[in-house]
Chain A
Amino acid sequence: MSGQWFLFSVDLLALFGIYLALNLSLRLQLGYTGIANFGLVLAFTGGAYVGGWLPIRLGMWLVEVDPSLADDMIWNNVIIASQVDLSLHGSPGTAMTILLITLLAAGAAGALLGLQSGYPAVRLGGDYLAISLLAFGEVLAIIGNNYDPVVGGPLGVRIPDVWAWAGDWRFMAASLANCALALGVWLYLDSIEKSPMGRMLRAIRDNPDAASSLGKNVARVRLNVMVTGGIICGLAGAMYTLYTTGVAPSALSRFDWTFLPWVMVVFGGSGSNVGVLIGTFTFILVQKLIISYKFALSFLPFDPVWLQFLLMGLVLILVLNFRPSGLVTEKASYALSRREMAKAAGKESL
C-alpha cells in the first residue's frame, strides 16, 4: 500500500468514526424517539470548543511551559501548543489524562447544550421543534466566530496533539480512537434495541398521546434522550478536534454537522444501526473521493466540491421518493429472545 493510500484510508476511518457516532446520536433522537434534531451541530460545536479550549490549558498546567506565555493564550497559541506537544511526545500518560478530562468536559458540555435546547423544544410539536432546534444550532457558531477568547475567532486555534506519543502511528491511533467512540455508541444503541427502552421510545415516537395515557412522561423522556444525544455529539466534537489538533468555528458549519448527518441517516435508514453505518460510509467515501480527485476534475470551470452537494441533494430526493424509510428498514424487536419469551409465556415455542 502506498503512503498516499494509507493516509487516505486512515483519514477516512477517522472521519467515519466521528460521523458514525454523530449519526447514531441522530438515530437515537430521530429514529427511536421521533425528535427531529436539526441542531446537531450545537452540541458537536460545544464539544469541539471544549476540545479547543481545555487541552492547551491542561497541557500548560501539567507540563513545563513558560508561564509568561499565558498572558495572551490566543496570540501565543501556536507557541504554547508546540511546547506542550514536545513534552507530550514522551509521556503518553499525561496525554491520555488530558484526553480523558477533555472528554469528560465535552460530554458535560454536550449534556448541558442538549438540556438547554431540549427544555423549551420538547413541548413543541413536529416541524416547529425542528425549526427551533435549527435556530439553536446557529447560536454557538455566532458566538465562536465573534468572541475570540473562546477558541480564537473564525480562524480558530491550534491545540496540543494528545496522540503525539504514537509517533508514526499517530493518525492510526487517533482514527481507531474515533472508531472506538462510534463502537461504544453502537453498542449502547444496540442495548436500547434489546431492552424495554427501545419499545418505549418507539411508542413515544409513534403516538405521544397514547404513550402518555399509559403513564410515560413523554416530555421527560424526550429531554433525557436529547441530553444523551447531546453527550454523544459533544464527545464526537471533542474527538474531532483532538484528531485535527485544531478547531475553527467557521469550519463547524450547519451543512457539515447537521445536514450531512441527516442525509446519511435518512439515506441509510434511521430505524437501524446497520442502515446508519451504510449511509455514513457511503457518503464519507464519496466526499473523500471527490476531495482527493479534485485535481483530476480541474478542467471544470467550477470547484468540484459542489458536485458533492449536488449528489447529496439528488440522492436524498430519490430516497425520499422511492424509499422514505431508508435503505435498511426498521424491524420489530423484543427485549427478550424468542426462547425466553416462550418460556415466560409457558409455551413450547412461539
Chain B
Amino acid sequence: MHGAMLEVRDVKKSFGGLKAVDGVSISLPRGRITLLIGPNGSGKTTLVNSITGFLRPDSGHVYLEDKEITHWPMHRICKEGMVRSFQLPAPFGGLSVLGNLLVACESACGESLLKCPLKALWKTTEKDNVREAFAMAEAMELTPYWDAVMSETSTGHIKLAEIGRALLAGAKLVILDEPICGVDPVMADEVFSFLIRLRDEQGLTFLVIEHRLDIALKYADYVYVMNQGKLIAQGSVEEVLNDSQVKEVYLGS
C-alpha cells in the first residue's frame, strides 16, 4: 500500500501480562477521515500512544509517508507532520485559551533563550500566529473565552481548545482521541464539519477515536474496529455496521 499517509504494521504493546495492543496493522489513506472505534479498554488509546511516540511499542513498525518513525520521540514525530490530542484533558493550566492555541504555533526565534529578547526577530511570525490562533478560536467557538485561564475553564471548552491546538500544530496527519467527549451535540457536529472542511480544503488526514458513534459515523470515510487489543473489522461505515463480530461486541448478542 504505497503512498498511504500512515502505515502501521503489526504493532504490539503489553502492560505486564495484559496485551493491550496485540498485533494491529492499519493504513490511513491521504485526505480521509478514518474512525477508530471499539469498546472501553479495547486498546485504541494504547495504539495511538504507541504510534505517536508516547509509549514505546514492544514490536512492530510505523511509517509516516513511507518514512519509518518507530520509536521516535513525540516532538520529532510532530515536526515530521503527525500530531495527536489526548483522551484525558491535558491543558496548559496556567495559560489562557489563546495562550494554549499559540503554544502549538511554531516560533523558532521567539522560542530560543538567546533570541527571544529581540522582539524584531519574532514579531512578524507572532502576528501571523496570533491571527491563526484567533481564527481557530473562532472556529471552535471559543472567541468569547479567549482570555480565560485554562485551569478555570469548563471541560467542554478545554476539549475544544485542545482540538484547536492540535490543528494549529501544522501537521498533515491529525489524530484525535475522543475529541467531542464532553462537548454538546450541536458543537460536536460543528467540530466534525470543520474537520471535513480542513480535509477538503487543505487535504489533511484524520484518525479519530470516538465513542459517540451517532455523531462520528456520519463523517467517517473509513472505519477500524478494535476489541481486546485486536482489529476485528474494517471498511466503510455500512460494511462495519453489518459485520457480525462488530454487532456482537457492541450489542453483546
Contacts and interface: CB of A to CB of B under 8 A. Distances in A.
Chains A and B directly touch (beta carbon < 8 Å): yes
Interface of A: 188, 191-192, 194-197, 199-200, 202-203, 205-207, 209-218, 224-225, 228, 271, 330, 332, 334-336, 340-341, 343-347, 350
Interface string B137-178: 000000000110100000000000010011001000000000
Contacts of B83: 213-215
A343 B128 CA distance: 11
Given A202-B94, A211-B103, A228 B169 contact: no
Contact of A206 (B91, B123, B165, B169): B91
B113 A225 contact: yes
A213 B129 CA distance: 18
B102 A345 contact: no
B218 interface: no
A200 B111 contact: yes
28 contacts: A196-B102, A196-B107, A196-B110, A199-B95, A199-B99, A200-B111, A203-B92, A206-B95, A209-B74, A210-B91, A210-B162, A211-B92, A212-B73, A212-B74, A212-B75, A213-B54, A213-B84, A214-B104, A215-B78, A217-B76, A218-B75, A332-B147, A332-B149, A334-B99, A340-B130, A341-B130, A344-B130, A344-B134
Contacts of A216: 75, 103, 111
Interface stretch (B10-18, B62-70, B114-122): B114-122
A292 B103 CA distance: 49
B75 to A, nearest CB: 5
Contacts of A195: 110, 116-117, 119, 122
Contacts of B96: 332
Contacts of B212: none
Interface of B: 52, 54, 73-76, 78-79, 83-86, 90-96, 98-100, 102-104, 106-107, 110-113, 116-117, 119, 122-123, 126-131, 134, 146-147, 149, 162, 165-166, 169
A243 B118 CA distance: 32
Given A209-B86, A340-B127, A217 B75 contact: yes
B126 A335 contact: yes
Contacts of B165: 210, 214
Given A188-B117, A336-B130, A340-B127, A210 B94 contact: no
Contact of B92 (A207, A330, A336): A207
Contacts of A224: 113
Contacts of A343: 127
A194 B111 CA distance: 11
B117 A191 contact: yes
Contacts of B103: 199-200, 203, 211, 214, 216
B98 A196 contact: no
A191 B109 CA distance: 13
Nearest to A228: B113
B144 to A, nearest CB: 11
B92 A334 contact: no
Contacts of A211: 92, 103
A334 B130 CA distance: 10
Given A213-B86, A215-B75, A344 B117 contact: no
A298 B119 CA distance: 56
Contact of A209 (B54, B95, B117): B54
A343 B123 CA distance: 13
A202 B52 contact: no
A206 B91 CA distance: 8
Contacts of A334: 98-99
B99 A197 contact: no
Given A196-B116, A344-B127, A213 B92 contact: no
Contact of B126 (A188, A336, A346): A336
A197 B110 contact: yes
Contacts of A330: 94
B92 A346 contact: no
Contacts of B100: 203
A217 B94 CA distance: 20
| Max count, chain B CB within 10 A of own CB: residue among A199, A211, A214, A344 | A214
A330 B151 CA distance: 13
Contacts of B75: 212-218
Contacts of B95: 199, 202-203, 206, 332
A347 B146 CA distance: 14
Contacts of B149: 332
A215 B79 contact: yes
| Max count, chain A CB within 10 A of own CB: residue among B84, B98, B111 | B111
B97 to A, nearest CB: 10
B165 to A, nearest CB: 7
Contacts of B130: 336, 340-341, 344-345
A191 B99 contact: no
B86 A202 contact: no
A335 B105 CA distance: 13
Contacts of B92: 199, 202-203, 206-207, 210-211
A238 B123 CA distance: 36
A197 B127 contact: no
Contacts of A340: 127, 130
A207 B94 CA distance: 10
Given A192-B116, A196-B116, A335-B110, A213 B147 contact: no
Contacts of B113: 192, 197, 224-225, 228
| Max count, chain B CB within 10 A of own CB: residue among A213, A340, A344 | A213
A29 to B, nearest CB: 12
